[in-house]
Structure 1
Amino acid sequence: MSYLKFDKNLMINLEQSLPKEMLRTNQAGAYHCSSIVGCNTRKQHGLLVIPIKEMDNKSFVMLSSLDETVIQHGAPFNLGLHRYSGGVYSPKGHKYIREYDCESVPRTTYRVGGVILTKEMIFISQENRILIRYTLVDAHSATTLQFRPFLAFRESNELVVQNGNLNQNYNEVNNGVSFCLYDGFPTLYMQFNHKPTWVSQPNWYNGIEYVKDLERGVPYTEDLWVPGYFEIPINKGESIIFSAGTTEASPRSLNKMYEVELASRTCRTSFYNCLKNAAKQFYIKDEDGEFIKSGYPWGPIRARDTFIALPGTTLAINHENDFHDIMATASKALNNFIDNETLDSRIHGIDLPDVPLWAIWSIQQYAKNAGVDKAREKYLPLAARILDWIIAGGHPNLEVQTSGLVATAGTSVPVSWMNATSNGWPLIPRSGLLVEFNALWYNALMFTYNISEGIKAYEERREHWGTIAEQAKTAFVDTFLNDHGYLYDYVNGHYADLSVRPNMAIAIGLDYSPLDRRQRKGVLDVVTRELLTPKGLRTLSPKSYGYQPFYLGSPEERERAYHNGPARPWLMGSYADAYIKVFGMSGVSYIDRMLIGFEEEISNGCIGTISQLYDGNPPFTGRGAISQATNVAEVLRTLRNLKKLNM
């Protein structure tokens, strides 16, 4: 089956091709992203987008795009595509595309008269460098290629306008030129493996529009600097490699560099392989450690997302060493917080109250994958420290009640993953006793209690954990299970929130749930009936007040809809866990069928991955960030669990 191959009919139809995006990363924070037709549709799109450490590790678009022109008999045929003011597309190079294939590396095939030209792109791992290989497959007469770079040099969430502060000077380097448009930016080196001719022809290209930003109701027009163009002849059967990077390359090394990188790629020829590639794209490895980026093209490194995504993006694809490396970086940040030291500036939200509970959940998944003995040896001290710290009142916003449950203050500041705000205030003020917090708390107590069994050094503490767990279990049922058979979303004093939300799915999906099997089934029935979609669980039931299924409109309208209807794929992991726990092996085929909705998504949106969220009503269109770590991770973890059950 061909997963990521698109023919001429789709590619030349902009209505069909523009919404499909592609993403490539270098596992060090840099990325290349655009539509599959090569027209940038978001301000975050770019041919080379890199993090700059000296600028708070924010991402910056250095090279926005590169327009190619085929010249035969003096006639130019421009293969580029941009949208300009008024919705005008120019120069309409998409009409020459005959095929787009992304199973190995992005590969576009163009046909211009008798000329057949292929373009293949690859990112160099751990280096801010993208290579593009052009191969002239066929030509009946002398052919020359021109390459016109569109330079941005701006933060990925901003836009640039024509200005006089730009440095127009350039330096000639080996087989290319280099530019640094503004002070404080790294130099951009553009080179070829064959010597080109550089023609300086500086000009601003004004009024370039980004249609996705237009749809989102945010600024969407910018001006880009085009300093000139490269020109180089090419013979039939010959390949030319273009390099764009923040360090100068040796032109002789470009071909080998390309081939070595290509050999390390896993072809996207199956649902699993697509997700495996997508999972590795979230890795960030640098001198500060190893991290998981929450999403592309925006999304920082978040503590909660890291611990939720960690098992699926590592263990589910047999990358146990990466699990340990990422956990080491994240647990160091968590220990710094416990010790009241300076918070890690790279990992956002390490101080949120549910983060240490998700950390223990992540360790629990490791125990299920590698065995209890290994988990005990490597991570029991961390899990025990977290529990003791919380019980002792160490967390500033997670208090253990006399009932054994944990309470948090979220009225003025969002504390859970449902963190949408309006004018800085939570739109969903979940405060007091939150259902998933307390389920995770009970699960953490029981897991640590069980893996510490028989270890003398933990005997006294273990008994204390067990006592609190028993109290919490009884109190959880009394507090959250209502007469309608499902769980209150949160209870704050005398107020119990009746909204049907997916946080209850987390509670019934955990290995140690405070609910018995019959109670779990009752909750699961409500979740299935009111929240389940082919793209995950709705964030609010259509029967609940305030349901807004479509993530559309202005930033304010989208913020209000954010957790009030759109579906989240990552919650399918908890749903699948709960379903298997309730129905056993008879539920395996059902969950397997439910994953078909995500397999279909692989060739939509950002191809080969899963979007941040989906509309809560048909046709369940993908929205938000084009690739989300927790979503990819939990689908992968579910696939891994199903495979184990079928063995």
Structure 2
Amino acid sequence: MTVDDDRDLSEWLETDGLGGFASGTVRGQRTRRYHALLLVAQKPPAERVVLVNGIVVVVETPDGEYPISTQYYRGDVRSPDGGKRLESFSIEPWPTWRFEISEAVTIVQELFVPEGLPGVAMRWRVEGPRSGLSLRVRPFLSGRDFHALHHANPDFDSTTHRAAGSLSWQPYPDMPSIHAQANARFIEAPDWYYGFLYTAERERGLDDLEDLATPGEFHWDLNPQDAYLLLSANQPISKLSGNEGLSAENCYAAIAQKERHRREQAGREAETVRSYIVKRGAGASVIAGYPWFGDWGRDTFIALRGLCLTSPDRLAIAHRILLLWSETVSQGMLPNRFPDRGDTPEYNAVDASLWYIVAIQESFDAHRRENRGFPHGETTRLLAAVDAILDGYTAGTRYGIRMDDDGLIAAGEPGVQLTWMDAKVGDWVVTPRIGKPVEIQALWINALAFAGRYDRDRRAQLEIAQASFTEKFWNEADGYLHDIVDHNHVAGSVDAAFRPNQIFAAGGLPIALLDNDKCRRVVEAVEAQLLTPIGLRSLAPGHPDYKPRYQGDLRTRDAAYHQGTVWPWLMGPFVEAWLKAHGGSDAAKSQAKQRFLQPLQEHLQQSGLGHISEVADAEPPHTPRGCPFQAWSYGEYLRIKAMVQ
């Protein structure tokens, strides 16, 4: 893509499949604390740390020096501003920048993160005459938790350790060592650079200044060779990749050839999917979003429906994920998330377990369509997990989650957030949704319907729940569903706020809970009040709690998170329900493709390049916010794409 001022802070992402990643902006300016070249997971996919934050890159010519990197400092000082020489940028097959040095000379900078390795490979090549050209690269190191910021201190060890073919640094004893291989001279010149300013952190009301250490500078003569720099954690990348003994340029060539072939075979869509799939123990999981989320249960099960179940090539990955999570069932619940540090999962989610059952059902159905089966023992494990969940909810489990006498699921207690609308600041739960939330009933009834395929007792539960649902939730006067009934566990009370959660009961899941006329009325109401080009609003305009923008400090943002803010992932269930309401004809699919899919495809080039954002402002121009790379947003985009084919 060509670069302009509106797009030069769009973000790119490279991931290692272990939880680590490299990321930054097209311009090269780090705007987040998470932007880094070497960010690795010490206990995949968790305990992530930043080791190499960035680099200064300067091209030397007979006519003078030309920086091609960008740094941003306290006081809004951009120095150097190498981005002004940026001619074009592409993420194919990996992030590649073209810098115009003169009419005759272009420097091409490229980098990639090899699959399965905690490292990054970089190359600078010359297009045009090389005579008199040289290159300097100064790395900036920290050694910190990826959520934290780094400041100058006397404990940082900038000593350069030299070994055959590589250099290394050990900034702190409890951090991984940093290894570098390059076809360059390295000149030791330890120093501190102070006051890097991260504008995205400032906009989010967070600490925004950082100090970084540099151990020195790499020097290349670009006549006659290109420049190569390989950075990795714990060991040299040549050893990690099985290329021990190779020079930096030959090691780069070996891993680049392998990586290029893999990406070309997979294609861009599969490569984007791969960025969210991570190793956890002997199994696999899904990173909810980059740059700050880990693997969350709810997000994993929603996301894998699109990431994995829309392609026969990825069914085995979905199966591995489902098997891994089957081992985590406790009292009928699956974890909401695994923490960044420590092994104790958090179980504060009423919907994660039910989404898990939906994912199992759709995985079984997808395998059946492809005439593939599961080993008997694995089927038994998954169905045992389903039964354990349904038994736990029927009998009652944590946080007041239980099946009530009407066959529906009641949940919640003060101070705990249990649904996907889970914003909490201190002791303040912004949207507590205590009682019987509408989407929980839709998920519960779909789960019972699946279990009813092999268990007669579940069919009896299903009939009771289905009969209760329409009677209690349907708002005939307004033609839509209440968001919560028996609100705050008070029989007969309702929360009639108009939210998107009702779409799951009106065709946004495999089984609709309403008749065709009521489904159509819900879809029309949601379309009229909540639909935007890239997702659904989380609350209708006009409600006293409606927030038009998702901006400001943490408390202000969380107050808006589910109070109007647009969520792209909700476009998936909406389109599913919309197509059912319009008969699923070819004409309906064609209309849906143009109206709903095309704006999402345009968004792929607007924020996190090749990805779909977490959220957006409720009001035009619906500026993307939150994580620029969100798993369930991209997964639902793929589901929509499959629906409208």
Counterpart position of 2:528: 529
1:17 is matched with which residue: 8, 26, 46? Answer: 8
1:542–1:565 contact (8 Å) kept in structure 2? yes
The AA in structure 2 aligned to 1:309 is A
Matched, 1:32 2:35: no
Q: 1:338 & 1:519 partners in 2: Cα distance?
A: 32
The AA in structure 2 aligned to 1:205 is Y
Counterpart position of 1:227: 215
Counterpart position of 1:243: 230
Q: 1:507 & 1:616 partners in 2: Cα distance?
A: 23
Tell me the TM-score normalised to structure 1 length. 0.90
Q: Secondary structure at the match of 1:635?
A: helix
Q: 1:72 & 1:98 partners in 2: Cα distance?
A: 18
The AA in structure 1 aligned to 2:64 is A
Q: 1:305 & 1:167 partners in 2: Cα distance?
A: 39
- Give how far 1:80 is off: 1.7
Tell me the TM-score normalised to structure 2 length. 0.91
2:71 is matched with which residue: 79, 82, 86? Answer: 82
Counterpart position of 1:459: none
1:410–1:430 contact (8 Å) kept in structure 2? no
1:57 is matched with which residue: 28, 46, 50? Answer: 46
Q: 2:262 & 2:400 partners in 1: Cα distance?
A: 45
Matched, 1:216 2:215: no
The AA in structure 2 aligned to 1:590 is Q
1:238-285 Cα deviation digits (max 9, x unpaired): 3332100011134433321121111111489xxxx5443222101111
Counterpart position of 1:498: 496
What pairs with 1:207-356 in structure 2 (closer than 5 Å)? 207-236=195-224, 238-246=225-233, 247-248=235-236, 249=238, 250=244, 251-252=246-247, 253-266=251-264, 274-317=268-311, 318-334=313-329, 348-350=345-347, 352-356=349-353
Larger mean CA deviation between 518-527 and 249-258 belongs to 249-258
Matched, 1:99 2:88: yes
Matched, 1:369 2:366: yes
Q: Secondary structure at the match of 1:371?
A: helix
1:302–1:350 contact (8 Å) kept in structure 2? no
Q: 2:162 & 2:130 partners in 1: Cα distance?
A: 33
Q: 2:582 & 2:220 partners in 1: Cα distance?
A: 65
Q: Secondary structure at the match of 1:595?
A: helix
Counterpart position of 2:621: 619
Q: 2:561 & 2:325 partners in 1: Cα distance?
A: 27
Counterpart position of 1:478: 471
Counterpart position of 1:177: 167
Counterpart position of 2:241: none
Q: 1:557 & 1:446 partners in 2: Cα distance?
A: 40
The AA in structure 1 aligned to 2:173 is D
Counterpart position of 1:599: 601
- Give how far 1:352 is off: 2.1
2:409–2:440 contact (8 Å) kept in structure 1? yes
1:506–1:571 contact (8 Å) kept in structure 2? no
1:116–1:136 contact (8 Å) kept in structure 2? yes
Matched, 1:384 2:383: no
2:295–2:338 contact (8 Å) kept in structure 1? no
Q: 2:418 & 2:280 partners in 1: Cα distance?
A: 29
Counterpart position of 1:458: none
Q: Secondary structure at the match of 2:431?
A: coil
Q: 2:606 & 2:275 partners in 1: Cα distance?
A: 18
- Give how far 1:327 is off: 0.9
1:80-106 Cα deviation digits (max 9, x unpaired): 211111111111112222221212111
Q: 2:265 & 2:74 partners in 1: Cα distance?
A: 38
Indicate how the Cα distance of structure 1 residues 416 and 489 shifts in structure 2: closer, same or farther if over 3 A, else same.
same
What pairs with 1:462-611 in structure 2 (closer than 5 Å)? 462-483=455-476, 484-491=478-485, 492=487, 493=490, 494-508=492-506, 509-586=508-585, 587-593=588-594, 594-611=596-613
1:69–1:77 contact (8 Å) kept in structure 2? yes
Q: Secondary structure at the match of 2:479?
A: coil
Matched, 1:149 2:139: yes
Q: 1:301 & 1:41 partners in 2: Cα distance?
A: 24
Q: Secondary structure at the match of 2:418?
A: coil
Q: 1:625 & 1:423 partners in 2: Cα distance?
A: 22
1:409–1:432 contact (8 Å) kept in structure 2? yes
Q: 2:436 & 2:384 partners in 1: Cα distance?
A: 27
The AA in structure 2 aligned to 1:82 is Q
2:429 is matched with which residue: 422, 426, 442? Answer: 426
Q: 2:191 & 2:503 partners in 1: Cα distance?
A: 56
Where does structure 1 lack aligned partners over 5 or more consecutive residues?
453-461
- Give how far 1:368 is off: 3.3
1:190 is matched with which residue: 164, 168, 180? Answer: 180
Q: Secondary structure at the match of 2:450?
A: helix
Q: 1:561 & 1:473 partners in 2: Cα distance?
A: 33
Counterpart position of 1:404: 407
Q: 2:269 & 2:8 partners in 1: Cα distance?
A: 21
- Give how far 1:395 is off: 5.6
Q: Secondary structure at the match of 2:211?
A: strand
Q: 1:409 & 1:398 partners in 2: Cα distance?
A: 7
1:200 is matched with which residue: 188, 212, 216? Answer: 188
Q: 2:179 & 2:358 partners in 1: Cα distance?
A: 45
1:155-201 Cα deviation digits (max 9, x unpaired): 12211111111112120133342111112001100111x2x211111
Q: 2:38 & 2:94 partners in 1: Cα distance?
A: 16
Indicate how the Cα distance of structure 1 residues 418 and 338 shifts in structure 2: closer, same or farther if over 3 A, else same.
closer
Q: 1:428 & 1:155 partners in 2: Cα distance?
A: 30
The AA in structure 2 aligned to 1:563 is H
- Give how far 1:545 is off: 2.2
1:442–1:513 contact (8 Å) kept in structure 2? no
The AA in structure 2 aligned to 1:63 is V
Counterpart position of 1:628: 630
- Give how far 1:566 is off: 1.0
Q: Secondary structure at the match of 1:632?
A: helix
Indicate how the Cα distance of structure 1 residues 439 and 375 shifts in structure 2: closer, same or farther if over 3 A, else same.
farther
2:297–2:334 contact (8 Å) kept in structure 1? no
Counterpart position of 2:641: 639
Aligned-CA RMSD value: 2.4
Q: 1:140 & 1:631 partners in 2: Cα distance?
A: 45
Q: 1:86 & 1:415 partners in 2: Cα distance?
A: 42
Indicate how the Cα distance of structure 1 residues 415 and 110 shifts in structure 2: closer, same or farther if over 3 A, else same.
same
2:191–2:214 contact (8 Å) kept in structure 1? yes
Matched, 1:6 2:2: yes
1:374-401 Cα deviation digits (max 9, x unpaired): 4796244433343233323356642111
Q: Secondary structure at the match of 1:519?
A: helix
1:586-614 Cα deviation digits (max 9, x unpaired): 33123212111111111111111011101
Where does structure 2 lack aligned partners over 5 or more consecutive residues?
239-243
Counterpart position of 1:435: 438
Q: 2:25 & 2:537 partners in 1: Cα distance?
A: 28
The AA in structure 1 aligned to 2:592 is I
